[in-house]
Chain A
């Protein structure tokens, strides 16, 4: 399944992800700059912060329990579309999802 990442400077990177894989893991596995994923997805840090493209906001759903507390500590601005990309898992509805990356994660 395809994910398109758009960096803060506008650079686009498309990667392949497996069904059920988190967007963070797909980014790290494919060497996408702009997602660190320091805690490996155990919801301890906020270094996989992303902005879900508005057209995809419904499909990705709401923030998980505890996500907003961590986002409060994110290095870049938090917006209504902010999510931790480790908490979004790829499914058929997310085929082709577009994810915007913040300027920094640390």
Chain B
């Protein structure tokens, strides 16, 4: 490795601390300013917060792999807390075979079938909330995905209350062994047991998306056990993420009334208004990769076997890439944001997420004239996810 590369600036930040979660933006700016790559002393990992480096790491899976875990834990040294995901925590070629199954189940063709039902469900929900004091998180951001997602997957009704705690656990598990992760792990057993059971073919309704994943086992594309694990991916990544995405959009529209007015004037902006909220709030804040060889990144030398923490949220507001990055602008050209990741691991459920977000925002645009935040929002802490625990609001 060449010795004339510049030293990597250190940072004493705890990127998994509640003080950081309360207001990450000044720290994001400090990380971006420090250099293309920083050294996060507390955890002994490298960090990237500028758009170009985050985008580069996401797109170079040969150097920055996922099979050693996309959290702080290195699966080559420590035992993962659950059998690894067949898509999130794998590299090609294994990854591609599994991803192909999920991509087909979550394809644009599926979305065309789901679209009218989702639009009607959002319409009903929003109409029932107009004129009321509500909690934007429980009554809307959680209520909508919970009203459409489990049914479409084909889950039984009993036990659905395990879905959100299980997802919270999985996303906390990417972080360090801090109080958030430990508390989640202590309470994990019943959630894990329920989710694992629901992923089996016999527990999924034959007309749902879960059953369509299992259909790939009939043709031999994957084994039955692999299909069960792929359904687990749907349940892990399909609900808390959209809850936080819709919550982000509500919080944005509440804070930027001119943007809500623009949305009301042209409801066809609903889809982009959701997308911009995903850029602006980045419901998934961070993921790790692990280097497969000695590598150079942004002019810095990184040894083999190092963890690299990608600050997706910081990349999504990097002024090197975005004009007025701290403005929520529903007409912005959002393509290229990394809120859904990028490259081969880019969120396979992105179309479903967008459809849910679009349905909710389209209904808001048609039925609500004013959207007011009426009390202090309460933040929900998670090692990976950014979102609110409650958002008091009034829909008028």
Contacts and interface: CB of A to CB of B under 8 A. Distances in A.
A interacts with B: yes
Interface of A: 25, 28-29, 31, 36-40, 42-46, 69-70, 72-73, 106
Query: Most chain-B CB neighbours within 10 Å: which of A25, A29, A38, A69?
Result: A38
A38 B333 contact: no
Interface stretch (B162-170, B181-189, B340-348): B340-348
Contact of A40 (B107, B112, B342): B342
A45 B351 contact: yes
Query: Most chain-B CB neighbours within 10 Å: which of A25, A40, A73?
Result: A40
Nearest to B337: A40
B350 A73 contact: no
Contacts of A44: 103, 107-108, 346, 348, 350-351
Nearest to B344: A42
A39 B347 CA distance: 9
Q: Which 8 A-B pairs rank lowest in CB-CB distance, beginning with the nearest? A: A73-B108, A37-B335, A42-B346, A28-B335, A40-B342, A40-B336, A44-B350, A44-B351
B3 interface: no
Nearest to A74: B108
Nearest to A35: B335
Contacts of B354: 38
A45 B112 CA distance: 12
A20 to B, nearest CB: 12
A77 to B, nearest CB: 16
Contacts of A39: 340, 346, 350-351
B109 interface: yes
Interface in B336-376: 336-337, 340, 342-344, 346, 348, 350-351, 354
Contacts of A31: 333
B200 interface: no
Main secondary structure of the interface of A (DSSP, over half): loop
Main secondary structure of the interface of B (DSSP, over half): helix
A73 B110 CA distance: 10
Contacts of B337: 40
Nearest to B275: A38
A40 B108 contact: no
B271 interface: yes
Contact of A42 (B107, B111, B271, B342): B342
9 contacts: A28-B335, A38-B335, A42-B346, A43-B103, A44-B103, A44-B348, A70-B108, A73-B109, A73-B112
A43 B99 CA distance: 12
Contacts of A72: 109
Contacts of A29: 336
Given A42-B343, A73-B108, A106 B271 contact: yes
B234 to A, nearest CB: 15
Given A45-B351, A73-B108, A40 B335 contact: yes
A5 to B, nearest CB: 15
Interface in B120-154: none
A42 B335 CA distance: 12
Given A44-B108, A46-B108, 4 more contacts: A39-B340, A40-B342, A43-B103, A45-B108
Given A28-B335, A45-B351, A69-B107, A40 B271 contact: no
A45 B340 CA distance: 13
A38 to B, nearest CB: 7
B336 A37 contact: yes
A91 to B, nearest CB: 19
Contacts of A43: 103
Contacts of A38: 275, 335, 354
Contact of B336 (A28, A45, A46, A106): A28
